[in-house]
Structure 1
């Protein structure tokens, strides 16, 4: 998933993070993948996976992000453009 084509303020509502293996700061690359797995009225859920240079999964997480109305300081509905972008970047369901 690339950068969003619009500006959106979000807050992390919930996050579950599992550290499975060490990721060290030894100048080796780590790859992080992000997948949108659910889209709601005011929020969306993403999963992340961090792999080391050998491809070993070192960490996984799931986060619920809520769209914010910064002026009001409250959650707001996702716009049509946001919902469309997030839905387009969800993986196809397994059959």
Structure 2
């Protein structure tokens, strides 16, 4: 099965939904059912795709919120913290 290259609202929405959930564009585009990153970037550069570009920007903003939440959770979780003590 060839990677999609023609713009599709369904594929664009899937990409944006997955980005908003915290996935990277790189990992999304590793899926054979998804377009290559270069195709997504071409769609973003297409002046006729303002709707996709707007959704993509909102998805990236949501992704940033997800990643900040994850960083906070990691920082607050002390289960993997360790400390070496020197004998004085």
- TM-score category of the 2 structures, normalised to the smaller one: under 0.3
Give TM-score scaled by structure 1 length.
0.26
Give TM-score scaled by structure 2 length.
0.27
More strand by share: 1
More helix by share: 2
